[in-house]
């Protein structure tokens, strides 16, 4: 058993995936708690599709993908936030429109210039081979930024998530914190989407918080539990994907599904016992 792990982590690409994956799982779980509670779960999905489109264009134009995708997705995040707060098109419809529109745009651009190929499927469903060393460095820096900002503004993020009106009344600039959450989510999604895949990355945002909410009843415990759970599921998924040669993204999501079912049954059983 130990030998397998030693062998597994002797590969550079797995080590890179491990570092980026753990950091991204941590960030997305923390932000996910706030996004899920604010009814913004779909924004994660929308952003990842925009990210796919940005990666496709970066590939067509031969530019380093992260440098294109991060600014584009950050801008999209602010737009989505604006649309869900006010505007003539309802928030959920706007997200559906933007995500399918962006996906189509990306597919269109690639197929015109390079034809449908393996790269595209790896963007959609993720690939563990996608990252090089410079990506890893960038991921580490940005993840640390996300974690620090989340920790510093933890109390304010709680207040804005729990009750925006009260937060505003006590002089907290709620828009600024909504924008902060959107910005951090955008960065996290782009960092994680090449390993997890554009279609699967949003699961990292919704699953760990939702699983944790089945059992834990305070905000702090939900945040801590989803962070741990998310990292645990990622590690499990990574091992499974190595042992059985399954795609990493899908394996991580499978681990998250199992964790959710497990937490859900515990919560269900506990409520039953209480009567």
Nearer to another protein, 20 or 146 (CB): 146
Q: Could you give the 3-state DSSP secondary structure of residue 195?
A: helix
Kindly indicate which of the ranges 54-62, 95-103, 215-223, 243-251 contains the residues binding another protein, using the contact rule CB under 8 A: 215-223
Residue 86 touching another protein (CB under 8 A): no
Contacts (Cβ under 8 Å, ≥6 apart) of 128: 13, 14, 17, 195, 241, 248
Among 38, 125, 175, 262, binds another protein (CB under 8 A): 38
Among 63, 93, 152, 243, binds another protein (CB under 8 A): 152
Rg of the Cα atoms in the chain? 19
Kindly indicate which of the ranges 18-26, 37-45, 56-64, 192-200 contains the residues binding another protein, using the contact rule CB under 8 A: 37-45
User: Distance between CA 267 and CA 265 in Å, rounded?
Assistant: 5
CB 89 within 8 A of CB 83: yes
User: Distance between CA 200 and CA 116 in Å, rounded?
Assistant: 20
Nearer to another protein, 41 or 136 (CB): 41
Q: How many residues lie near another protein (CB under 8 A)?
A: 30
Which helix (H) or strand (E) element contains residue 21? helix 12-37
Nearer to another protein, 73 or 213 (CB): 213
Residue 171 touching another protein (CB under 8 A): yes
Kindly indicate which of the ranges 69-77, 122-130, 169-177, 180-188 contains the residues binding another protein, using the contact rule CB under 8 A: 169-177
Residue 39 touching another protein (CB under 8 A): yes
CB 123 within 8 A of CB 56: yes
Kindly indicate which of the ranges 106-114, 134-142, 147-155, 187-195 contains the residues binding another protein, using the contact rule CB under 8 A: 147-155
Q: Is 116 left (phi over 0), alpha (psi -120 to 50) or beta?
A: beta
Among 216, 236, 240, 264, binds another protein (CB under 8 A): 216
Nearer to another protein, 10 or 165 (CB): 165
Give rounded-to-5 percent helix, strand, coil for the chain.
85, 0, 15
Q: Which two tokens stand for residue 59?
A: 């590939």
CB 248 within 8 A of CB 241: yes
The closest alpha carbon to 207, from 146, 259, 270, belongs to 259
Among 60, 79, 168, 179, binds another protein (CB under 8 A): 168
Among 115, 170, 273, 275, binds another protein (CB under 8 A): 170
Residue 272 touching another protein (CB under 8 A): no
Classify residue 215 by its DSSP letter: H
Residue ranges that bind another protein, judged by CB under 8 A? 37-39, 151-156, 158-159, 161-163, 165-172, 213, 216-222
């Amino acid at each position: 058993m130990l030998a397998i792990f030693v062998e597994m982590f002797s590969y550079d690409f797995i080590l890179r995936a491990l570092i980026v994956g753990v950091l991204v799982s941590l960030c997305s779980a923390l932000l996910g708690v706030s996004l899920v509670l604010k009814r913004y779960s779909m924004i994660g999905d929308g952003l990842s599709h925009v990210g796919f489109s940005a990666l496709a264009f970066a590939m067509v134009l031969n530019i380093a993908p992260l440098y294109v995708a991060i600014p584009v997705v950050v801008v999209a995040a602010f737009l989505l936030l604006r649309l869900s707060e006010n505007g003539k098109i309802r928030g959920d419809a706007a997200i559906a429109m933007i995500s399918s529109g962006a996906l189509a745009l990306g597919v269109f651009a690639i197929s015109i210039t390079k034809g449908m190929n393996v790269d595209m499927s790896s963007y959609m469903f993720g690939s563990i081979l996608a990252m090089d060393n410079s990506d890893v460095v960038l991921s580490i820096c940005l993840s640390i930024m996300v974690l620090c900002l989340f920790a510093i503004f933890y109390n304010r993020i709680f207040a804005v998530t729990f009750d925006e009106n009260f937060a505003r009344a006590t002089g907290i600039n709620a828009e600024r914190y909504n924008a902060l959450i959107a910005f951090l989510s955008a960065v996290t999604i782009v960092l994680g989407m090449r390993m997890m895949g554009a279609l699967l990355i949003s699961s990292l945002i919704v699953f760990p918080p939702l699983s944790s909410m089945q059992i834990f009843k305070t905000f702090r415990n939900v945040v801590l539990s989803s962070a741990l759970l998310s990292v645990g599921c990622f590690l499990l998924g990574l091992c499974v994907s190595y042992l059985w040669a399954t795609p990493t993204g899908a394996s991580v999501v499978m681990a998250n599904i199992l964790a959710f079912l497990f937490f859900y049954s515990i919560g269900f059983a506990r409520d039953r016992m209480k009567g």
